Amino acid sequence: MGDIVLEVAVHEEACGADRRGAVERFEALRRETESLTANLTAEDQSIQSMPDVSPTKWHLGHTTWFFETFLLARFDPDYRVFDPAFGYLFNSYYEAVGPRHPRPERGLLSRPTVDIVMAYRDHVSSAMARLIERVAEPEWNEVVTLFELGIHHEQQHQELILMDIKHVFSLNPLLPAYQAPQLQVQVQATAHPLSWVDCDGGLKEIGHSGTGFAFDNESPRHKIWLEPFRLASRPVTCGEYLGFIEEASYSRPEFWLSDGWATVREQGWEAPLYWLREGEEWSVFTLSGRRRLNMAEPVCHLSFYEADAFARWAGKRLPTEAEWETAAGDVPISGNFTDRGHFHPCADGSSDAIPQLRQMYGDVWEWTASPYTAYPRFRPAGGAIGEYNGKFMCNQIVLRGGSAITPTGHIRATYRNFFPPSARWAFAGLRLAEDFG
Ligand SMILES: [Fe+2]
């Protein structure tokens, strides 16, 4: 009997520690999100510069709505909704949850004010801490699954906050800096020489397995067949991309996919987004303001069309997502993420030691050749949460590896980001691949 009492006590202590740990993670996440807005005025936080961009304030509200809707409203009978109107304002795309404010009109929401949105955040954050501590044990498993999703969802919006405010500031003739320049960024003036890493073909497996968190689109793990291939040891640099520009490649249709060529002409693209030309000099707009282009850093803010055209010009190709994932193998998940504070891709200043594949993680998301589709036997979750990823599996391309504005700890080898092929405001570049053997 004494043993049983002791076991129950130990179990409860372990559960309590689990829950305290969950509350701490949640509070750290919320602080991290809010810290991203510390330099932004209320005016900054209200602007929507294009339909794909959301105001900072909307991101703060929407990530809060996610916890309120999918956790508090379901699992806390005593929860008091902060404002019933917010369900309409801050629902992003969940048809099953109800109607919503049109996405292109989020910039019209001068109300609620930033102060009210922050009060909404505080209200929900307190209620979440209570829920985590008090929800009954039988419901805990379901709560913790949705809680993990909510954490990773808010991390995705941390990246979107930075992507979006950069676009907003880029359209202001004053070119405001989001943060002070990071001095160490410009020190590394040369890129590592490009080499090629041979990768075996054969029967391989990709996709998530194991117990850690992954989004549903990373599963199930499954077999794929690969022919032998080579992967470039690092991403394409600005200097290399400038070679593509200087050969007038933006006006040479032979390098472009049909849709890409149509988009280049329609949009008048002549360089990556945020590149600025003054005579023979190139500069780039960053989250630390405008500065001279560093030829050694990975090229960023390309559409899939531009990444693909560059690869054709170079006589290479983009890797498939399966090639990228199998090559990533045991490459340690470290790199230029948000903890470094640069918020911009950097030339690789690390030593020549292993891994052969450099900058696989962080710096720039890498466009792959793979359309974003369901893995074999994929089944989205039931209910509204099933809308998270599955319904976007059409007309988008997979990107891998994370970027300089991806939160540290958010990324995995199996992680599948996706954007339409014309999107340029993500921190996206490329790594070349080629066939061999
Ligand atoms: Fe969202």
pTM of this prediction? 0.95
Helix, strand or coil for residue 105? helix
- pLDDT category, 364, cuts 50, 70, 90? very high
| Cα 91 to ligand 1 centroid, rounded to whole Å | 8
Between CA 268 and CA 274, with CA 272 as vertex, the angle to 5 degrees is 100
| Cα 388 to ligand 1 centroid, rounded to whole Å | 8
pLDDT at 206 over 70: yes
| Cα 213 to ligand 1 centroid, rounded to whole Å | 17
CB 388 within 8 A of CB 219: no
Query: DSSP characters for 277-333?
Result: EETTEEEEEETTEEEE--TTSBP-S--HHHHHHHHHHTT-BPPPHHHHHHHHTT--S
| Cα 95 to ligand 1 centroid, rounded to whole Å | 13
| Cα 343 to ligand 1 centroid, rounded to whole Å | 21
Q: How are the residues of the chain apportioned to helix, strand and coil, as percentages rounded to the nearest 5?
A: 45, 15, 45
| Cα 47 to ligand 1 centroid, rounded to whole Å | 18
| Cα 60 to ligand 1 centroid, rounded to whole Å | 10
Mean per-residue pLDDT, 224-251 = 97
| Cα 166 to ligand 1 centroid, rounded to whole Å | 19
User: For 137-292, where are the alpha helices, taking DSSP H only?
Assistant: 137-170, 238-246, 258-267
Residues at Cβ < 5 Å from ligand 1 ion: 92
| Cα 420 to ligand 1 centroid, rounded to whole Å | 17
**pLDDT tens-digit profile of 15-67?**
677 899 999 999 999 999 999 999 999 999 999 999 999 999 999 999 999 99
| Cα 46 to ligand 1 centroid, rounded to whole Å | 17
**pLDDT tens-digit profile of 334-351?**
999 999 999 999 998 666
N-term to C-term CA, the chain: 68
Closest CA to 85 of 129, 117, 53, 47: 117
| Cα 93 to ligand 1 centroid, rounded to whole Å | 8
- pLDDT category, 388, cuts 50, 70, 90? confident
| Cα 94 to ligand 1 centroid, rounded to whole Å | 9
| Cα 59 to ligand 1 centroid, rounded to whole Å | 8
The pLDDT score that the predictor gives to residue 234 is 96
CB 418 within 8 A of CB 291: no
The pLDDT score that the predictor gives to residue 372 is 98
Report the C-alpha gap between 380 and 387 in whole angstroms.
8
Q: How many CA atoms lie within 13 A of 147 on its CB side?
A: 27
| Cα 57 to ligand 1 centroid, rounded to whole Å | 13
**pLDDT tens-digit profile of 305-329?**
999 999 999 999 999 999 999 999 8
| Cα 237 to ligand 1 centroid, rounded to whole Å | 31
Distances in Å between the alpha carbon of 91 and those of 23, 84, 378? 24, 12, 25
The per-type count for the chain, helices as H runs and strands as E runs, is 10, 12
The pLDDT score that the predictor gives to residue 188 is 61
pLDDT at 390 over 90: no
- pLDDT category, 185, cuts 50, 70, 90? low
Query: DSSP characters for 379-425?
Result: -PPSSGGGGTTGGG-SS-EEEES--TTSPTT---TT--EEE-TT--S
| Cα 394 to ligand 1 centroid, rounded to whole Å | 18
Report the C-alpha gap between 209 and 200 in whole angstroms.
22
Mean per-residue pLDDT, 411-437 = 97
Between CA 237 and CA 263, with CA 323 as vertex, the angle to 5 degrees is 55
Query: Token digits for 193?
Result: 């020489």
| Cα 118 to ligand 1 centroid, rounded to whole Å | 17
The pLDDT score that the predictor gives to residue 348 is 85
Report the C-alpha gap between 431 and 391 in whole angstroms.
28
| Cα 155 to ligand 1 centroid, rounded to whole Å | 10
| Cα 66 to ligand 1 centroid, rounded to whole Å | 8
CB 306 within 8 A of CB 260: yes
The count of residues in the chain is 437
The pLDDT score that the predictor gives to residue 334 is 93
The pLDDT score that the predictor gives to residue 351 is 62
| Cα 62 to ligand 1 centroid, rounded to whole Å | 7
> Listing from the earlier edge strand, what are the strands of the sheet with 433-435?
196-199, 229-232, 433-435
| Cα 162 to ligand 1 centroid, rounded to whole Å | 14
Q: Scanning the structure block, which residue is given the tokens 């801490």?
A: 129
